Structure 1
């Protein structure tokens, strides 16, 4: 598009528009600007001409810093806001995958005005299309990039988000293989029984044993488990009102914060065995620690719950001893809890509310996967036809 002089355009309501074009200093593209006229006379046009030029000056007046802002500078500014607005467990992971996946392609010194969708696609291709990273992990990285560029729009640095023009083309065969691995994310009955038995046989791992069983019976996240205080336990239920940041080196210094999301704040009704575990834990704590309302329930030492690293280490050792060929961590009990309820045909909505899921897809990935027990029930039913 070439630069053209001002011109008058008549509107259907009898009025006029004085139009002109200007080049956007950020994108280099030509854009149109106009101002309303009551009359198409030289006097009216001359008066509006100055106002129109003022309008153009406002649109083309830029802060040199913004025009030359680098991607690294944009990221640093965005990250400060992101840290304030999100929980530590969310923002602590961002620098890692930015350094690993994004900055090698979208360099920190690259001007944000020069970043287009082709660079975003290159990140996606390297991670997922031609790489070995999962679809969900790649989506998470793409979403982070989109959030960064939306921030730049809010700040007035850019007008468009280059991520919005990209999409991830799903590799069907890879996702089929991924679905096969879902069974590795939860434990069958004989597997969790063997694991718990191994933990309970070692007196040094008593705490890990009761915590693992309690996770299995409730479907809690690990951060929710270690944030449980005696005031949260009443009769036969627990109130999930917060979480502890288990990424901190010293859990004794951790502060209880809000739950992961609104859906995560909930009341969880306890089966008899879970109630028994808490009563036994209260008796155990009464002579080793204390049982004041503000005290945490599952303590490894005074005021300090067991770190997730120590817990997972014990789980992996136990899994190795019972020859369990699965990657066992605290989260596998949450998935196992969902699978147990799904096997008993508990409605999806009820399961979501119990485990505090806001996104149905998270629960569905386990819920829709047919477990060994369900498959056996199907064949057993068919065998009994005659």
Structure 2
């Protein structure tokens, strides 16, 4: 306890008061809070009385916190968690995580006391996601939701809302998805014919800027945000070759709608320098002309020379346009901008480029799907070879 001297105005006169202050550690936040009481004197008797009153205030505050912890609702805990989560992850990661958390809270009920959620109800919830005909989600989607909810429950344990994380005890009867996975890999990238149809459709419908950014994705394996965020100064010329310094990404946010260039790529592994093919170099050089160093290569108004005047390409608009294109072109795949990245992997695999080199070129974050596409393409190449080898007898 300490004493702070203060002066207060009483009947037009300044009088001295003594503020007795004590601090305590909150069981909710782990941070220190203060309580205080003010007297007109600081005699031994007053000091004793102040000490007792401060102790009562602290005990009352801690009791209220304890009661709150025991009755904390999903809505209260998730709000506190998301506020902290948003500060430590990339915007795109937060967006997906918040979506899963809010869905979980909606399903269980905002006013549900988090400590009352049983392991049994959690088991039923996640298994229902897999086998309920109305949901029928994939193993991957359910696993992603479960992981995010588990992070929420870890937060609840850390701050005393829960004693244990029951999510970690959940046992899920996963689906047998072998057949679906085989088909899924083939549907994760484009054939040359499908790629050409999409580019031609863009050009025919006056979306040249999208045609060029999709081409560059196809030729480099970049994410859309990395490609749409490229600036003139990110193009490097060395020894007659052209490289891209990929060190940030264009990020769009909503509520309110805004965008900015991030300080880094989506993942640390995404920070990289890649060489361009002659065709990719032509695309880049064409979009560099008459622009400031900090201007974007791609924009809805391609001739704008200054960043402040440019209208950046929005990934949501790009994906909406792709959806219309695949309907027009009758392409039976749920194509998004990420498909050009996957297609780049398939092309390099077909060229016998080593897997580790491909991973370095595209940034390691997509390791799982990258490896699956690589193995699928190389396996298909071996099967084609085995089917053709018998024809060698015709040359005897």
Please tell me the TM-score bracket, short chain as reference: 0.7 to 0.9
Q: What's the TM-score, normalizing by structure 1?
A: 0.75
Aligned residue in 2 for 1:351: 358
Q: Distance in 1 between matches of 2:159 and 2:393?
A: 68
Distance 1:106 1:295, change over 3 A: same
- Are the counterparts in 2 of residues 264 and 356 from structure 1 also a CA contact under 8 Å? yes
Q: Distance in 1 between matches of 2:84 and 2:167?
A: 20
Task: Report deviation, 1:182.
Answer: 2.1
- Are the counterparts in 1 of residues 349 and 377 from structure 2 also a CA contact under 8 Å? no
Q: What's the TM-score, normalizing by structure 2?
A: 0.73
The equivalent position to 2:262 in structure 1, one of 256, 259, 265, is 256
From the two aligned structures, give the one with the greater strand fraction: 2
Distance 1:194 1:385, change over 3 A: farther
Cα shift readout 1:289-331 (whole Å, capped 9, x = no counterpart): xx11111111113322121233233333333343322222211
What secondary structure is seen at the aligned counterpart in 2 of 1:180? Answer: helix
- Are the counterparts in 2 of residues 210 and 277 from structure 1 also a CA contact under 8 Å? yes
Deviates more, 1:335-344 or 1:372-381: 372-381
What secondary structure is seen at the aligned counterpart in 1 of 2:136? Answer: coil
Aligned residue in 1 for 2:337: 330
Residue 156 (structure 2) pairs with residue 152 (structure 1): yes
Task: Report deviation, 1:378.
Answer: 4.1
Aligned residue in 2 for 1:50: none
- Are the counterparts in 1 of residues 250 and 259 from structure 2 also a CA contact under 8 Å? no
Q: Distance in 2 between matches of 1:292 and 1:150?
A: 47
Task: Report deviation, 1:334.
Answer: 0.8
Aligned residue in 2 for 1:136: 140
Deviates more, 1:220-229 or 1:154-163: 154-163
The equivalent position to 2:186 in structure 1, one of 171, 183, 186, is 183
Identify unmatched segments of 5+ residues in structure 1.
Answer: 1-56
Residue 219 (structure 2) pairs with residue 217 (structure 1): yes
Q: Distance in 1 between matches of 2:145 and 2:339?
A: 24
Q: Distance in 1 between matches of 2:160 and 2:70?
A: 10
Q: Distance in 2 between matches of 1:364 and 1:321?
A: 31
Task: Report deviation, 1:240.
Answer: 1.0
Deviates more, 1:357-366 or 1:292-301: 357-366
Task: Report deviation, 1:85.
Answer: 0.9
Task: Report deviation, 1:247.
Answer: 4.4
Q: How many residues align?
A: 319
Aligned residue in 1 for 2:384: 376
After TM superposition, list the pairs within 5 Å mapping 1:262-281 onto structure 2: 262-281=268-287
Residue 249 (structure 2) pairs with residue 243 (structure 1): yes
